[in-house]
Amino acid sequence: MILFIFKYRRGKRARAAEGPQVHGATRLEVIWTVIPVVFLAAIGSFIFYKLPGIEDPPKASAASSSTIKIDGHQFYWQFTYPNGAISIDRMRAPAEQVVNEEISAPLQDVIHSWWVPDLGGKFDAIPGRVNKTWFRAPVGQYRAQCYELCGIQHAAMTARVDVIPRAEYRSFVERRASAAGRFDLGREEWTYVCQKCHRLGSKYIGPDLKGNPLLANRDGLEQLLRNGQGQMPAVGANWSEEQIDALVLFTKQFAGTAGANGG
């Protein structure tokens, strides 16, 4: 650009005078057109050759496949397993097995984006719509992140995918779906949902919850979770009764002594 500015400057030529007419070099123009076309054709051919394998998961029997439902909420990820078991912000998946993901968000929520860099690209979690993808991975821990700006605590909307041996995965989903796993679910709900905005003993984004009798009041807590209040979104609008029970089971240890009824 500097060369052209200097070489073709107006100099002493009158402003209204026409500049020198430089005609093109046909051979050079053909070369710089044909070479990119060849490269683009090669890249396009490779993509269309690979696309069917990228779009569709490998064939898998019902015994060797698993479908996990992923829901993006303000500001956490909820994972629902084939037997109805639930985990928050920490997804477990069987190793060396096709794992199908169904990604969405509740109707009253906003758009999120599920992204696990080591397991694939970004997939939007859109309210009322299901996007599908899949992965198959070895044992390991994989970091996940919401890639769509979704509100004040977007940066805290992180998650983890724990790919574990199949026997360990089966044991986890069976325990989590039973009464024995309810306390663990409540701990995850408190840690990864409530504590995104609240603290015990100090004000954070939301009010201090230390000693709050609401933490042991099932009816009051359920109303708050399902309907929200003020700037607090309805974080538990679609929670099952078992999820509400699990949270109260865990949070009642932090509640004050007054008004702790209804739970």
Please provide the DSSP assignment of 11-41 as one string: TTS-TTSPPP-PPP-HHHHHHHHHHHHHHHH
Collapsing DSSP to helix, strand or coil, 206 comes out as coil
DSSP code, position 56: S
Distance CA 155, CA 145 (A): 8
Residue 9 has pLDDT above 50, yes or no: yes
Identify the pLDDT of residue 62: 57
Residue 260 has pLDDT above 60, yes or no: no
* CA 6 to chain CA mean position, Å: 52
Identify the pLDDT of residue 50: 84
Identify the pLDDT of residue 254: 93
Q: Counting every residue, how long is the chain?
A: 263
Indicate the pTM of the whole model: 0.77
% the chain with pLDDT above 70: 93
Nearest to 135 by CA among 154, 116, 159: 116
Domains recognised in the chain with CATH numbers? 66-165 (2.60.40.420), 184-254 (1.10.760.10)
Please state which of the ranges 16-25, 132-141, 186-195 shows the lowest mean pLDDT: 16-25
Identify the pLDDT of residue 57: 65
- SS3 of 125-191: ECECCCEEEEECCCCEEEEEEECCCCCCCHHHCEEEEEEECHHHHHHHHHHHCCHHHHHHHHHHHHH
